[in-house]
A and B are shown apart, each in its own frame.
Chain A
C-alpha cells in the first residue's frame, strides 16, 4: 500500500502547534509535521496524556474552547483548513470523520441507534432523502457485521455491547463518505479479542472504501497490526516517523526503544514466566466445586426471571507464594468469582476454604477477623477509594476496623506502608483528588498492606493504567512479594499481563474453569480458544 507516495497527500500537517488559550502556558503539541497519503493507514503513537486527543481534535476541528491553534498549518487535499485567525474552517463530520474511544457514551441514550445515525448523515448531507439515508445506514450496519441490522436499527444504545457500539460508530463515520477517518484510541475500552476484530474491520473497510486512516493509539502492538507507517510522539513533538516494521525492528531513538521494550509479548518465550516457588505446604485458599447462579428479571416482564449460571463448579487451590492468574473475557464470571473469593457473597454450592477454614462455617466475627488475611485490590482507582478522605486516613481505616495499632503507632505503620509502595509520606493529609491513577492504586495497595495480609486478590488492578505505570506497579508487586511473603491472585482479561507475572494460569469460559496449568505449559498446549 505504499505505492501512492508520489501523489499529493490527503492531509498534510506542517509545524502544527496547539496550546491552551491562556497566554504564556506551555504548548501541548509543538511543531508537528507529517503527511497522510491516500489509502494509507498512518499510526500515531503517544503515551496516555501525550497529546493524542488534542491532535485528533485539532484535525477534526473539534478543539475545546480552552485550546487554540498557535501556529503551523493543516492542509486537506492541498487546501489550508485554517483561516488567518487561528480557526479551522473545516465542516466537522463531512470530509474528515472521527471515531473516538468512548463508543458507549457517544450517542444520545434516549434515542435508538439507527435514527441517530440517519440524523447525523442527513445533518451533514441534507441532499440525501430520509428513506435513502435509512437504506444506506442499514447497508453499512450489515457491512460492519452487526447481526440482523433491521432489528438493531431500532434498539437503544444501552442494548449494544462495547464492540457493537464501536462498529455503529464506524458506520456513523463512514456514512457521509469521508476521505479520511481519524480513529482516536478506538480499541482502548474494548476487550483484546473485540479490539482485534475492530482493527481488522477498520483495515478492511479502509481498503474497500478507499479511505485514509489516521489511527492514534497508546499501544504500539495494536499499531503494529494495521499501520503502514507510524509516527511516534514524545511530549507533543514528533520523535520518529517510519515504516511500521522498520521502526519496530530498528528504532532510531532511545525513546522508541524503551516503548518497544515495554510491550508485553506473549509470543516471546524469553519473558520467563515467574518461577513457581511452590512448596508442599497447605494451600492458603482452596475453592471446592463452587457454584453461583443469578436470577435476572427478564426485560419487559415483571415476574419471569432468567437464571444465569455465573460460576459453575470451579475448583482450584492457591499455594503460598504461588501467583495464580484467572483470565477470561468479560462476562465469563470473573467478577462473580471475585465476590465469592472475598466472601462478599456465598456460593450456592461448594465451599471456599481460607487457611483450611471454610468461609460458610465461620461466624460473622471470625470472618471479619479472617478478612485481615486476604485483601482485594480493585480496578477503578477513582471509585475504589472512599471519597473526601485524606490519604492517611484511608490507609488507617483497615487498622481501625480491626483495632490494630493506636495513635502514633498507627501513623508510623501507615507511613511505613506508604513508603513501601512508593508514596511520599508528605501526602498523608492530602485528599487524593490531585493524584495520578497509579498513585491512587498505590494507596489501595498500602491500605491492604497495613493489615499484613497473606493473600492479595487483584481484580483488574492494573488494567486502568497505561503501559509504563502498569510496569511500575507490577514491579512493585513482585518486590512486595519478595519482602512480605505475599501470594497473589490476578484476575484479568489481559492475557499478556497475567502471563508475565503468574506462575499458574486458570482460564475461565462461560462460568467454568476450562483450563488450569502452569504458565509455561498453557500456551503451548492450549486446549481452548
Chain B
C-alpha cells in the first residue's frame, strides 16, 4: 500500500507488522514451551553451527588419506582413541566427525531445497485443482495419481541410475517425484476452504478468484502444509542418504552419509564405528528436526484452534 505524504506513516506501517509478529511470535513462543522443541533446537543449532564452522577452522582434511591414523576408534572405546578424532577415523585414516559434518552440509542443502521445490510445485497445482474444480481438477489429479502410483524411490533410482547423479539432478529428481502428496493435501484443503462461508462473503464483496486464492486460501492452508514440510526435510535427508547408499547420490570423494555407511560395511566386524557413527549422527540431527517439526505443528494447532 502507498502512503500519502500527509498521513502519519507510523500508524499505517505498524498495523500489518504487529499482526504478523503477534501470531507468528505466539506460535514460536508456544512451541518454545515444549521441552522437545527446546532440546531439538539446541541440538540442531549446535550441529549446524559446527558443520558451518568446524570444517573451516580445523587442520584436518575430510579427503586426505592418512594411513598411520586409520581405524582409530571413537572416544572412550578401545585403546587408541584420541580427542582429535571424537568419532574415530575410517579405513583411510580420515576423521569421521569432519566427514559427517561435511556430509551434513550437502544433506541439509539437498533436503531443504528439495522440500521447497516440492512444496511450490505441489501446492500451486493442488490449490488450482481444488479451488477451480472441474476440468482443472480432473486433469491435475489424474497426473498426480499416476505419479503417486509409482513409488518415489523407484522413479528416483530409475532416473538417477541411468543418468549421472549430481547435487542438481538429485534435487530435481527428488523434488519432481515428491510433489504429488503436497498437491493432494493442498487440493483437499482448498476444497474445504472454497466451500466456507467467508469465501462466499469475499465473492460478494467483489474479490476475484485469483485474489481469493492467493490472499485468503493460500495463507490459510499453506502454513499447515509448511509445518508438515519441516518434517519432510528430515525425510528428504534420509532419502538423500539412501541414494548415496545405493551409489546414486553425491559422488565420492565428497563425503555423504549414504556412501560412508555403504563403504564401511566391509569393515563392519573390525571397525564397527565407521558404519554406525555417521548413522547415529544423522539420526540425532533428524530427531532434533522432527522434534521441532511436531512441536511447531502442535503449537500452531493450539494457537489457531480458537482456544484463546
How does the 8 Å CB contact mask read for A399-421 relative to B, with 1 for contact and 0 for none? Answer: 00110001111110000000000
| Contact of B12 with A388 in the complex, beta carbons under 8 Å | no
Chain B residue nearest in CB terms to A408: B7
Asked if B45 is at the interface of the complex by the 8 Å CB criterion, the answer is no
Q: How far is the CA of A238 from the CA of B206 in the complex (A)?
A: 50
Set A392, A397, A401, A451: member contacting B15, Cβ < 8 A: A392
Asked if A385 is at the interface of the complex by the 8 Å CB criterion, the answer is yes
| Contact of A408 with B3 in the complex, beta carbons under 8 Å | yes
Asked if B68 is at the interface of the complex by the 8 Å CB criterion, the answer is no
Chain A residue nearest in CB terms to B18: A429
| Among B92-100, B195-203, B248-256, B268-276, the stretch in contact with A | B195-203
Chain A residue nearest in CB terms to B207: A401
What A residues does B197 contact at CB under 8 A? 378-380, 383-384
Chain B residue nearest in CB terms to A402: B206
B207 to chain A, nearest CB (A): 5
Size class of the contact patch on chain B: 20 to 34
Set B201, B208, B220, B308: member contacting A388, Cβ < 8 A: B220
Q: Which of A330-372 contact B (CB under 8 A)?
A: 342, 344, 368-369, 371-372
Q: How far is the CA of A379 from the CA of B201 in the complex (A)?
A: 11
Q: How far is the CA of A341 from the CA of B19 in the complex (A)?
A: 35
| Contact of B202 with A434 in the complex, beta carbons under 8 Å | no
Given A406-B1, A409-B7, A411-B12, A393:B201 Cβ within 8 A: no
How does the 8 Å CB contact mask read for B203-230 relative to A, with 1 for contact and 0 for none? Answer: 1111110010000100110000000000
Q: How far is the CA of A371 from the CA of B211 in the complex (A)?
A: 16
Q: How far is the CA of A380 from the CA of B199 in the complex (A)?
A: 13
Asked if A376 is at the interface of the complex by the 8 Å CB criterion, the answer is yes
Q: How far is the CA of A35 from the CA of B296 in the complex (A)?
A: 52
Chain B residue nearest in CB terms to A399: B205
| Contact of B198 with A385 in the complex, beta carbons under 8 Å | yes
| Contact of B219 with A388 in the complex, beta carbons under 8 Å | yes
Chain B residue nearest in CB terms to A394: B198
Asked if A375 is at the interface of the complex by the 8 Å CB criterion, the answer is yes
Asked if A242 is at the interface of the complex by the 8 Å CB criterion, the answer is no
B227 to chain A, nearest CB (A): 14
| Contact of A428 with B15 in the complex, beta carbons under 8 Å | yes
B299 to chain A, nearest CB (A): 14
How does the 8 Å CB contact mask read for B10-45 relative to A, with 1 for contact and 0 for none? Answer: 011001101100110000000000000000000000
Asked if A386 is at the interface of the complex by the 8 Å CB criterion, the answer is yes
Q: How far is the CA of A402 from the CA of B205 in the complex (A)?
A: 9
Chain A residue nearest in CB terms to B17: A429
| Contact of A378 with B200 in the complex, beta carbons under 8 Å | yes
Asked if A468 is at the interface of the complex by the 8 Å CB criterion, the answer is no
Q: Which of B276-308 contact A (CB under 8 A)?
A: 304, 306, 308
Asked if A431 is at the interface of the complex by the 8 Å CB criterion, the answer is yes
| Contact of A433 with B198 in the complex, beta carbons under 8 Å | no
| Contact of B205 with A447 in the complex, beta carbons under 8 Å | yes
Asked if A126 is at the interface of the complex by the 8 Å CB criterion, the answer is no
Asked if A398 is at the interface of the complex by the 8 Å CB criterion, the answer is yes
A476 to chain B, nearest CB (A): 19
Asked if B8 is at the interface of the complex by the 8 Å CB criterion, the answer is yes
Chain B residue nearest in CB terms to A374: B204
Chain A residue nearest in CB terms to B217: A386
Set B3, B16, B205: member contacting A407, Cβ < 8 A: B3
How does the 8 Å CB contact mask read for A445-470 relative to B, with 1 for contact and 0 for none? Answer: 00100010000000000000000000
B205 to chain A, nearest CB (A): 5
Given A406-B2, A411-B11, A376:B204 Cβ within 8 A: yes
What A residues does B211 contact at CB under 8 A? 401
What A residues does B204 contact at CB under 8 A? 342, 344, 371, 374-376
What A residues does B200 contact at CB under 8 A? 344, 376, 378, 384
Q: How far is the CA of A372 from the CA of B19 in the complex (A)?
A: 27
Asked if B4 is at the interface of the complex by the 8 Å CB criterion, the answer is yes
A369 to chain B, nearest CB (A): 8
Set A372, A408, A444: member contacting B206, Cβ < 8 A: A372
What B residues does A372 contact at CB under 8 A? 206
Chain A residue nearest in CB terms to B308: A433
Set B15, B206, B308: member contacting A398, Cβ < 8 A: B206
Chain B residue nearest in CB terms to A342: B204
A462 to chain B, nearest CB (A): 15
Given A376-B204, A401-B206, A407:B216 Cβ within 8 A: no
| Contact of B12 with A407 in the complex, beta carbons under 8 Å | yes
A72 to chain B, nearest CB (A): 31
What A residues does B3 contact at CB under 8 A? 406-408
What A residues does B304 contact at CB under 8 A? 387-388
Chain A residue nearest in CB terms to B211: A401
| Contact of A408 with B8 in the complex, beta carbons under 8 Å | yes
| Contact of B23 with A388 in the complex, beta carbons under 8 Å | yes
What A residues does B4 contact at CB under 8 A? 406-409
What B residues does A431 contact at CB under 8 A? 22-23
Q: How far is the CA of A397 from the CA of B201 in the complex (A)?
A: 11
Most buried by A among B4, B19, B216: B19
What B residues does A398 contact at CB under 8 A? 205-206
Q: Which of B43-64 contact A (CB under 8 A)?
A: none
Q: How far is the CA of A374 from the CA of B204 in the complex (A)?
A: 8
Chain A residue nearest in CB terms to B208: A368
Set B12, B196, B201, B306: member contacting A376, Cβ < 8 A: B201
Q: How far is the CA of A51 from the CA of B4 in the complex (A)?
A: 52
**Extra pairs beyond A344-B200, A409-B7, A433-B306 (6, CB < 8 Å):** A344-B204, A371-B206, A384-B201, A397-B202, A397-B207, A398-B206
Interchain residue pairs with CB less than 8 A apart (19): A372-B206, A374-B204, A376-B201, A380-B197, A383-B196, A384-B200, A386-B198, A389-B19, A390-B15, A390-B19, A393-B16, A393-B19, A402-B206, A407-B4, A407-B7, A408-B7, A411-B11, A434-B308, A451-B205
